[in-house]
């Protein structure tokens, strides 16, 4: 699957991913009213609103980008109907030819990890037929439980040509509380990175592995070091834009082949119309603001 | 919320929780056929089957136990309809007066973590009304992202009287890969335990905190140490039974007040009829086998 992502990144000359993390606050009033009228001002209505919001963002940007990254928490907050909106978003992004990175940060052990892997990336056999649950292309995975939590995902990556991104160094301020602690002179995130290399070798797909990792844009020096430590591992970089990661720092995350990283922006794209810079588009043309923000982000990273 | 769990544990004299981790393999043929006939041999049919299976287990055990712990991975594998079966299970357990520990192992940052906390434990305001997503009483949470990932859960615990169990030392064989690594002479799980104490102090509810932790039954010596390190923290203990944790080791996880731990068994209870010991119940009376397995587990821990 990583080769498919790379192909799209190269074709569109855009090593970026749009994070579909819809908050109700981001959704323009006219979409909200329509959804509440159709489904009621309740969880179903809210779910309908975020799905319609996503659809417009995808329609306005899909030709420019290789992938989207829906953050499942933003859907789970609306219960079952929210999860249904997540699934509609995954399917619609696929219809539009996009790769889907499910930002689900799952992590468990053995049969439980296998269930997550099958549900999000693989499939399940019921009697003689095969069904898929959410059918994302990649999922983000938490490493705290060790190999037992990762191996079932790698098996599914190999069986179904899918991929994962394992959390190594996250973008948040407190990520250092555990991740930066020194073990034999090396921070924990480097120990995790070594394991990611090991796991990655079990699912190579061309020059890169289907096992990628997550390293936050907010720690570019660590990004540089981790880039060197994991030469065949694609880095998903959250934290660009709204969280403080700068375009000029992004070069640290790329290999000399111009590949090796894909930078995510969520709020900066999907709520672009709320920024002063894009305010002139207004709520009615919010998706055009998102499109312009995508163009600007690609340029910003390119010149970095 | 921890005081409510303790009250039920004391009343029923049962420091245990039944893990509702239904695999299709566990579900008796007669339930499967009925569900497939009703909904089709597909994801909806499988979801209906695990929900009917859960319902019978709950009906047969609810008077003996304080709580159930549905493992959401086992539901997510069936996609949206599986998640709906999870919600039905949560609601039905509540109807029967049980505490529900959502084994969701979520962990993210800031607004995303808040969305998980609101979706699983809290509620969300849509226009002027308040709705809840999944409405579990406790959720399991992954600590890898640090305080940013935990704080939003603690806020919801305080606002809505709910609780969490933070992964400290998990029951799986590879849990040591990262969790046991030494930092300033102490294993990472102890560093996490220190943080759990700190987080726990922000949500006390009687002698114990609404912030609990997870320590696997398969590491009783570490359990003993962690019990001492976190005197006010309730320990959720997975790994008893099928995974190898013994009743005689369980004393390590309890405080001298007889409280402080709640031991989970999943497969050992819900698929009891598949064990030689309970085979005489047969598939048709699988739920009675589960009831007997609960009685035996309580006795096993009690005499430990």
Structural domains of chain A, with CATH: 2-303 (3.20.20.70)
CB contact at 8 A, B2 and B260: no
Determine the distance from the C-alpha atom of residue A8 to the mean position of all C-alpha atoms in its chain, rounded to a whole number: 15
Strands A67-70 and A99-106: parallel
Report the 10 Å Cβ neighbour count for B185.
6
Residue of B nearest to A175 (CA): B145
pLDDT at residue A147 in the model: 97
CB atoms within 10 A of CB A120: 30
Buried-exposed string B95-126: b where 16+ CB fall within 10 A, e elsewhere: eeebbbbbbbbbbbbbbbbbbbbbbbbbbbeb
* Distance linking the first and last C-alpha atoms of chain A: 27
Q: Is A64 on the interface with B (CB under 8 A)?
A: no
Contact B150, B143 (CB under 8 A): yes
- How confident is the model at residue B246, as a pLDDT? 85
- Chain A and chain B share a number of CB contacts under 8 A equal to 215
- Neighboring chain A residues of B131 at a CB cutoff of 8 Å: 42-43, 79
Q: Which residues of B touch A42 (CB under 8 A)?
A: 126, 129, 131
ipTM of predicted assembly, 2 dp: 0.97
Q: Are B232 and B200 in contact (CB under 8 A)?
A: yes
Percentage helix, strand, coil, to 5, in chain A?
Answer: 55, 20, 25
**Which of A27, A85, A145, A219 is best to mutate for the B interface (most B CBs within 10 A)?**
A145
Q: State residue A200's pLDDT score.
A: 98
Of A126, A143, A174, the CB nearest to B147: A174
pLDDT tens column, A173-231: 999 999 999 999 999 999 999 999 999 999 999 999 999 999 999 999 999 999 999 99
Model confidence band, residue A35 (pLDDT cutoffs 50, 70, 90): very high
What is the 3-class SS of chain B, one letter each residue?
CHHHHHHHHHHHCCCEEEEECCCHHHCCHHHHHHHHHHHCCCHHHHHHHHHHHHHHHHHHHCCCCCEEEEECHHHHCCHHHHHHHHHHHHHHHHHCCCEEEEEEEECCCHHHHHHHHHHHCCCEEECCEEECCCCCCEEEECCCCCHHHHHHHHHHHHHHCCEEEEEEECCCHHHHHHHCCEECCEEHHHHHHHHHHHHHCCCEECCEECEEEEECCCCHHHHHHHHHHCCCCCEEECCEHHHCECHHHHHHHCCCCCCCEEEEECHHHHCHHHCHHHHHHCHHHHHHHHHHHHHHHHHHHHHC
Query: In angstroms, rounded to a whole number, what is the distance separating the alpha carbons of residues B265 and B68?
Result: 10
The count of C-alpha atoms lying within 13 angstroms of the C-alpha of B151, restricted to the half-sphere facing its C-beta, is: 10
Chain mean position to CA A159: 21
Kindly state the percentage of chain A with pLDDT values over 70.
100
Residue A298's pLDDT is 96
Q: Measure the CA–CA gap between B304 and B296, rounded to whole angstroms.
A: 12
Cross-chain Cβ contact A109/B170 below 8 Å: yes
Contact criterion met (CB < 8 Å) for B124 and A78: yes
pLDDT at residue B232 in the model: 98
| pLDDT greater than 80 at residue A267 | yes
SS3 state at A212:
strand
Q: Which SS3 state, helix, strand or coil, does residue A18 take?
A: strand
How many Cα atoms occupy the beta-carbon half-sphere of B142 within 13 Å? Answer: 26
Q: What is the pLDDT, as a whole number, of residue B241?
A: 84
How large is the greatest C-alpha to C-alpha distance in chain A, in angstroms?
60
CB-count burial class (<10 Å; 0-12, 13-18, 19+) for B25: exposed
Pairing of strands A261-265, A186-187: unpaired
- Whole-number pLDDT of residue B65: 98
Q: Would you state the pLDDT for residue B265?
A: 96
For B201-229, the pLDDT digits (tens) are: 999 999 999 999 999 999 999 999 999 99
Give the catalytic positions of B in this structure. Answer: 105
User: What radius of gyration, in Å, describes the C-alpha atoms of chain B?
Assistant: 19
pLDDT of residue A27 exceeding 80, the answer is yes
| A79, A109, A176 ranked by CB distance to B133: nearest | A79
C-alpha–C-alpha distance, residues B82 and B93, integer Å: 17
pLDDT < 50 positions in chain B = none
């Amino acid at each position: 699957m990583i080769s498919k992502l790379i192909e799209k990144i190269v074709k569109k000359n855009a090593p970026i991913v749009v994070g579909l993390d819809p908050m109700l606050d981001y959704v323009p009033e006219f979409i909200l009213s329509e959804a509440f009228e159709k489904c009621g001002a309740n969880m179903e209505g809210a779910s309908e609103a975020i799905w319609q919001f996503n659809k417009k963002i995808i329609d306005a940007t899909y030709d420019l980008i290789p992938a989207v990254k829906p953050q499942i928490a933003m859907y789970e907050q609306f219960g079952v109907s929210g999860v249904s909106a997540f699934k509609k978003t995954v399917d619609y992004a696929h219809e539009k030819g996009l790769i889907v990175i499910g930002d689900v940060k799952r992590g468990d052990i053995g049969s439980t990890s296998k269930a997550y892997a099958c549900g999000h990336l693989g499939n399940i056999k019921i009697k003689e037929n095969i069904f898929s649950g959410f059918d994302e292309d990649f999922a983000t995975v938490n490493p705290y439980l060790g190999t037992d939590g990762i191996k079932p995902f790698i098996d599914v990556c190999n069986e179904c040509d899918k991929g994962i991104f394992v959390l190594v160094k996250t973008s948040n301020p407190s990520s250092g509380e555990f991740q930066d602690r020194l073990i034999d002179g090396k921070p924990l995130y480097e120990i995790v990175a070594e394991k990611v290399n090991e796991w990655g070798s079990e699912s190579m797909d061309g020059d890169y592995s289907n096992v990628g990792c997550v390293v936050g844009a907010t720690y570019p020096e660590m990004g540089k070091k981790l880039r060197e430590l994991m030469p065949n591992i694609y880095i998903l970089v959250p934290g660009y834009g709204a969280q403080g990661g700068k375009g000029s720092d992004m070069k640290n995350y790329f290999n000399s082949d111009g590949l090796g990283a894909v930078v995510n922006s969520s709020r900066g794209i999907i709520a672009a119309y709320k920024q002063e810079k894009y305010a002139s588009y207004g709520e009615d043309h919010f998706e055009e603001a998102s499109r312009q923000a995508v163009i600007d982000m690609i340029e910003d990273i390119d010149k970095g």
